[in-house]
C-alpha cells in the first residue's frame, strides 16, 4: 500500500506542476511581488541591503509555495477533479501529500533561483547555499501545508485567495522580513512566534548571514512541527468535508 | 457460487438530520449489469459514493469484490473503475495525458501506458482528439474519455453514475453500446440512472430506490410481472366502416383474445394484426414506488433514450 501511496504522491505533484504551477503568471507572482516589496522598502530605507536578503528569499518561498497551493484543492473540489484522485488506490493523506509536494517543489525551485541570485549579487560565500537550501526546504514544506489548510478550510476559490492573503500579509510585517522581531512590541513578538514565517526568516538569516548552528536547527525543527501540524489539520478537515 | 461483486447489509448514510440512504441491503452478481433506478435525491449517488470509498457509511456493512469496505478500501480501489455523474478529468491535460495520468495513479507499468492510452482512444473513437485538452472536447467526448479513464487498469467492477445524463441522443446511444460491450467482456457494471428505458435496455436486474429505501429488486421482467394483472391484446380491425385499433383486457392472453375476436365478429370486421401488450417498466415503477415517471424526468429534462 505504501508503494501505491508513494507513487500517487509523486504523480499528483507532477501533474499539478504541469497543470497549474508552471504557468507564467504563477512564476512571475512568486518572484516579482516579493522583489517589488523589497525594492520599495530598500528605496524608502537605504542601508545595508544584505540584511534584506533573507526576507526576500523567504518571502519568495512563502508566495510561490502558497500561490497555487492555497487554491488548487478548492478548485479541484469545485470541478470534481479531486474526487478522481480520491478514487485512486491511495490514501487521503497520500493524496494531500501529493498536493503539498507540488507546492514544495514549486516554492523551492522559485526561491532557489532568488537564493542563488542574492548569494551571487551580495557576494555571499557559496557554502552558505547548502544550509540556506535546507532552510528553504523546511520553510516551503510549512508554507505549502499552510496553503493546503487554507484550501480545504473554504468552499470557494475566491475565499481561499482572500484567506491566504489574510494570513500572508500580516505575516510579512510581523515575522521579521522588514523589521527585526526585537523592534516589535512584546505582544506582537509573542504573536510572531506563533507563525511559521518567523522561523523561516530566522533559519535563512542564520544560513546566509550568521552561523548555522543550534538556533537554526531549532528553527528547522519548529518548521517541521508546523508542517506536521498544518498537514494533519488539513487532512482532518478534508476528510470531514468529503464525508 | 461465485462471490458477489457487491454485497451490502443495512448500508446507511446520514448527512446531519437527513437520511440519504436508509438500511439498504442487496447483492450484485459477478458479471451482471445492475441498475439502481430512482428519482433525484433517492440516494443513488450516495450509494455509489459509499461503495467507492468517497464517503464513509454512517452504519451498515458492505463487501466489494469480496473485500470489506471499511478495512480494505485501497485494495477495492485497485479493482474498480468509477465514472462519476460529472465528467471530471483535468481540463488542462490532453485526452492522451489524462489517460496516462490515470494509469500512473493505478500503477500501470510505464512501458504499457502509451499503447494502452492509444488503444482506449481508438476504442472510444477519440484518436483524432489525442492531443486536444479535455476542456475543448464536446460533452459526449468528455463523457467517453471519462469512461475510458475508468478503464485504464482493466477494472473488474465498473460504477457508472448517471452515465448518459446531458448527452445527445447519438452520444447516449454510443455510450450504451459501449456499456453492452463491456458487459460482454465480463465486467460487472453497477449503474445508476433515472431513465427508465436505459435501465430496461441495459440492466439484468434493477433495484428501485426511493427516499433512501429499496422498494423492489428484481429482473426487469420480474418487476413487470409483479404488476401484471391479466393480459392485454391490441387488435387492428378493418371493415366496411373503416379501420380501428382496440385493446382488449382479459384474465390471460386467451381470454383477451376471445374478447377481441368476438368483437370483430360482432362488428363484421376482419382482424389484420394482433399484438399482446406487456406492462412497461414505467408501469411497474409507478405501481411499485407510488411515484410517477414524470417525477424522474421532470428534474433533469427529457429522456435521451434513442
Q: What would the 3-class secondary structure string for chain B be?
A: CCCCCEEEEEEEEEECCEEEEEEEEEEECCCCEEEEECCCCCCHHHHHHHHCCCCCCCEEEEEECCEECCCCHHHHHHHEEEECCCCCCCCCCEHHHHHHHHHHHHCCCHHHHHHHHHHHHHHCCCHHHCCCEHHHCCHHHHHHHHHHHHCCCCCCEEEEECCCCCCCHHHHHHHHHHHHHHHHCCCEEEEEECCHHHHHHHCCEEEEEECCEEEEEEEHHHHHHHHCCCEEEEEEEEECCEEEEEEEEECCHHHHHHHHHHHHHHHCCEEEEEEEECCCHHHHHHHHHCCCHHHHHHCCCCCCCC
Output DSSP code: residue A128: G
Query: Is ipTM > 0.90 here?
Result: no
Rounded Cα distance, B102 and B113, in Å: 10
pLDDT of residue B295: 56
pLDDT of residue B241: 77
Instruction: Give chain B's residues under pLDDT 50.
Output: 299-306
Which residues in chain B touch residue A11, judged by CB atoms under 8 angstroms apart? 101, 104-105
Q: Indicate whether A124 pLDDT > 80.
A: yes
Report the pLDDT averaged over residues A11-37.
80
CB contact under 8 A, B54 and A19: no
Residue A106 to chain B, least CA–CA distance (Å): 18
Q: Which of A3, A73, A88, A240 to mutate to test the interface with B (most CBs of B within 10 A)?
A: A88
Helix axes B220-227, B281-289, angle to 10 degrees: 60
Q: Which of B89, B105, B142 to mutate to test the interface with A (most CBs of A within 10 A)?
A: B105
pLDDT of residue B304: 46
Residue B279 to chain A, least CA–CA distance (Å): 39
Residue B139 to chain A, least CA–CA distance (Å): 15
Straight-line distance from the first to the last Cα atom of chain A, in angstroms, rounded to the nearest whole number: 23
Quick check: B174 and B144 in contact, CB under 8 A?
yes
Which residues in chain A touch residue B92, judged by CB atoms under 8 angstroms apart? 18-20
Poorest-pLDDT segment among A7-21, A212-226, B93-107, B170-184: B170-184
Residues in Cβ contact with A68 at an 8 Å cutoff, skipping those fewer than 6 apart: A16, A20, A21, A26, A102, A103, A106, A147
Quick check: A98 and A240 in contact, CB under 8 A?
no
Helix axes A24-44, A53-67, angle to 10 degrees: 150
Sign of CA dihedral A143, A149, A152, A157: negative
Report the pLDDT averaged over residues A23-49.
72
pLDDT of residue B48: 95
Report the pLDDT averaged over residues A117-135.
89
CB contact under 8 A, B88 and A242: no
Name the closest residue on chain B to residue A8, using Cα atoms: B105
Q: Which of A3, A20, A89 sits opposite B77 (nearest CB)?
A: A89
Which residues in chain A touch residue B88, judged by CB atoms under 8 angstroms apart? 79-81, 83-84
Rounded Cα distance, B59 and B62, in Å: 10
Which residues in chain B touch residue A3, judged by CB atoms under 8 angstroms apart? 107
Q: Which of A8, A19, A87 sits opposite B54 (nearest CB)?
A: A87
Residue B90 to chain A, least CA–CA distance (Å): 7
Residues in Cβ contact with B230 at an 8 Å cutoff, skipping those fewer than 6 apart: B249, B250, B251, B252, B255, B256
Q: What are phi and psi of B126, to 5 degrees?
A: -115, 15
Q: Which of A7, A12, A84 sits opposite B89 (nearest CB)?
A: A84
Which residues in chain B touch residue A87, judged by CB atoms under 8 angstroms apart? 52-54, 77, 82
Report the pLDDT averaged over residues A119-130.
87
- A32 membership: H or E segment, kind and range: helix A24-44
Residue of B99, B107, B105, B227 whose CA lies nearest to B151: B99
CB contact under 8 A, A89 and B52: no
Structure-block grid coordinates of residue B170: 447519438
CB contact under 8 A, B74 and A20: no
A117-126 own/partner pairs: CB under 8 Å, 24+ apart: A118/A53, A118/A56, A118/A57, A118/A208, A119/A208, A122/A49, A122/A50, A122/A53, A124/A50, A124/A53, A124/A208, A124/A209
Quick check: B42 and B59 in contact, CB under 8 A?
no
A142, with CB counted inside 10 A (0-12, 13-18, 19+), is buried
Q: Which of A17, A87, A94, A243 to mutate to test the interface with B (most CBs of B within 10 A)?
A: A87
pLDDT of residue A47: 67
pLDDT of residue B189: 96
Cβ of residue A193 closer than 8 Å to a chain B Cβ: no
Rounded Cα distance, B288 and B223, in Å: 8
Output DSSP code: residue A213: S
Which residues in chain B touch residue A24, judged by CB atoms under 8 angstroms apart? none
- A167 membership: H or E segment, kind and range: helix A157-174
Tell me which residue has cell 510581523: A174
Q: Which of B75, B88, B153 to mutate to test the interface with A (most CBs of A within 10 A)?
A: B88
Which residues in chain B touch residue A2, judged by CB atoms under 8 angstroms apart? none
Q: Indicate whether A30 pLDDT > 70.
A: no
Rounded Cα distance, A12 and A97, in Å: 9
Q: How far is CA A47 from the centre of its chain?
A: 28
CB contact under 8 A, B92 and A20: yes
Straight-line distance from the first to the last Cα atom of chain B, in angstroms, rounded to the nearest whole number: 37
pLDDT of residue B300: 46
Share of residues in chain A with pLDDT > 90 (%): 44
Which residues in chain A touch residue B56, judged by CB atoms under 8 angstroms apart? 243
Cβ of residue A15 closer than 8 Å to a chain B Cβ: yes
Q: Which of B56, B75, B92 sits opposite A243 (nearest CB)?
A: B56
Q: What is the count of residue pairs from A and B with beta carbons less than 8 Å apart?
A: 66
pLDDT of residue B201: 87
Rounded Cα distance, B157 and B147, in Å: 13
Residue A100 to chain B, least CA–CA distance (Å): 17
Cβ of residue A17 closer than 8 Å to a chain B Cβ: no
For A36, A63, A107, A196, B89, the CA distances from A70, given in Å and listed in that order, are 22, 10, 13, 16, 21
| Three-state helix/strand/coil letters over A171-188 | HHHHCCCCCCHHHCCHHH
Quick check: B235 and B262 in contact, CB under 8 A?
no
Q: Indicate whether A140 pLDDT > 50.
A: yes
Kindly report, residue by residue over B231-255, the tens digit of the pLDDT: 788 889 898 878 888 888 888 888 8
Decide which of A127 and B171 is more confident: A127
Residue B110 to chain A, least CA–CA distance (Å): 12
Structure-block grid coordinates of residue B117: 492510452
Report the pLDDT averaged over residues A15-20.
88
pLDDT of residue A179: 80
pLDDT of residue B293: 53
Residue B71 to chain A, least CA–CA distance (Å): 12
Q: Which of B56, B75, B88 sits opposite A80 (nearest CB)?
A: B88
Rounded Cα distance, A140 and A197, in Å: 10
pLDDT of residue B160: 94
> B270-277 and B213-219: which strand pairing?
unpaired
Which residues in chain A touch residue B104, judged by CB atoms under 8 angstroms apart? 7, 11
pLDDT of residue B303: 43
Residue of A164, A178, A199 whose CA lies nearest to A65: A164
Amino acid at each position: 500500500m505504501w508503494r501505491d501511496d508513494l507513487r500517487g504522491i509523486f504523480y499528483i505533484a507532477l501533474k499539478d506542476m504541469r497543470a497549474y504551477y508552471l504557468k507564467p503568471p504563477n512564476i512571475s507572482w512568486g518572484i516579482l511581488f516579493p522583489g517589488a516589496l523589497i525594492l520599495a522598502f530598500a528605496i524608502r530605507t537605504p542601508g545595508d541591503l544584505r540584511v534584506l536578503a533573507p526576507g526576500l528569499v523567504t518571502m519568495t518561498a512563502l508566495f510561490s509555495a502558497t500561490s497555487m497551493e492555497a487554491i488548487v484543492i478548492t478548485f479541484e473540489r469545485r470541478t470534481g477533479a479531486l474526487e478522481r484522485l480520491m478514487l485512486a488506490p491511495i490514501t487521503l493523506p497520500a493524496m494531500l501529500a501529493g498536493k503539498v509536494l507540488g507546492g514544495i517543489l514549486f516554492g523551492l525551485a522559485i526561491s532557489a533561483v532568488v537564493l542563488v541570485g542574492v548569494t551571487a549579487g551580495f557576494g555571499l560565500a557559496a557554502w552558505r547555499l547548502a544550509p540556506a537550501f535546507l532552510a528553504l526546504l523546511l520553510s516551503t514544506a510549512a508554507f505549502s501545508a499552510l496553503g493546503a489548510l487554507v484550501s480545504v478550510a473554504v468552499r470557494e476559490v475566491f475565499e481561499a485567495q482572500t484567506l491566504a492573503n489574510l494570513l500572508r500579509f500580516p505575516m510579512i510585517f510581523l515575522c521579521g522580513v522588514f523589521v527585526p522581531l526585537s523592534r516589535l512590541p512584546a505582544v506582537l513578538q509573542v504573536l510572531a512566534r506563533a507563525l511559521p514565517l518567523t522561523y523561516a526568516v530566522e533559519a535563512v538569516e542564520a544560513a546566509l548571514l550568521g552561523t548555522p548552528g543550534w538556533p537554526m536547527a531549532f528553527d528547522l525543527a519548529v518548521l517541521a512541527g508546523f508542517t506536521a501540524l498544518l498537514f494533519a489539520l488539513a487532512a482532518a478537515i478534508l476528510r470531514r468535508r468529503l464525508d | 457460487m461465485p462471490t458477489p461483486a457487491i454485497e451490502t447489509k443495512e448500508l446507511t448514510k446520514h448527512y446531519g438530520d437527513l437520511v440519504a440512504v436508509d438500511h439498504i441491503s442487496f447483492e450484485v452478481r459477478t458479471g451482471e449489469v445492475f441498475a439502481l433506478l430512482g428519482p433525484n435525491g433517492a440516494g443513488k449517488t450516495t450509494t455509489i459514493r459509499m461503495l467507492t470509498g468517497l464517503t464513509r457509511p454512517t452504519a451498515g456493512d458492505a463487501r466489494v469484490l469480496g473485500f470489506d469496505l471499511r478495512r480494505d478500501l485501497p485494495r477495492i480501489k485497485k479493482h474498480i473503475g468509477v465514472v462519476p455523474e460529472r465528467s471530471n478529468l483535468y481540463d488542462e491535460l490532453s485526452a492522451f495525458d489524462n489517460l496516462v495520468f490515470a494509469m500512473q495513479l493505478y500503477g500501470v507499468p510505464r512501458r504499457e501506458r502509451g499503447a494502452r492510452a492509444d488503444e482506449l482512444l481508438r476504442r472510444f473513437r477519440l484518436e483524432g482528439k489525442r492531443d486536444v485538452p479535455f476542456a475543448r472536447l464536446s460533452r459526449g467526448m468528455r463523457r467517453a474519455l471519462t469512461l475510458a479513464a475508468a478503464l485504464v487498469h482493466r477494472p473488474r467492477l465498473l460504477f457508472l453514475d448517471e452515465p448518459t445524463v446531458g448527452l445527445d441522443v447519438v452520444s447516449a446511444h454510443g455510450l450504451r453500446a459501449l456499456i453492452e460491450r463491456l458487459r460482454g467482456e465480463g465486467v460487472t457494471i453497477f449503474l445508476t440512472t433515472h431513465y427508465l428505458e436505459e435501465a430496461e435496455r441495459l440492466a439484468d436486474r434493477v433495484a428501485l430506490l426511493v427516499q433512501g429505501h429499496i422498494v423492489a429488486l428484481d429482473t426487469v421482467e420480474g418487476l413487470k410481472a409483479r404488476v401484471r394483472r391479466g393480459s392485454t391484446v391490441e387488435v387492428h380491425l378493418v371493415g366496411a366502416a373503416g379501420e380501428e385499433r382496440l385493446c382488449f383486457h382479459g384474465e390471460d392472453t386467451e381470454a383477451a383474445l376471445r374478447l377481441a375476436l368476438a368483437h370483430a365478429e360482432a362488428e363484421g370486421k376482419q382482424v389484420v394484426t394482433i399484438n399482446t401488450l406487456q406492462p412497461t417498466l414505467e408501469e411497474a415503477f409507478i405501481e411499485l414506488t407510488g411515484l410517477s415517471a414524470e417525477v424522474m424526468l421532470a428534474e433533469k429534462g427529457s429522456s435521451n433514450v434513442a
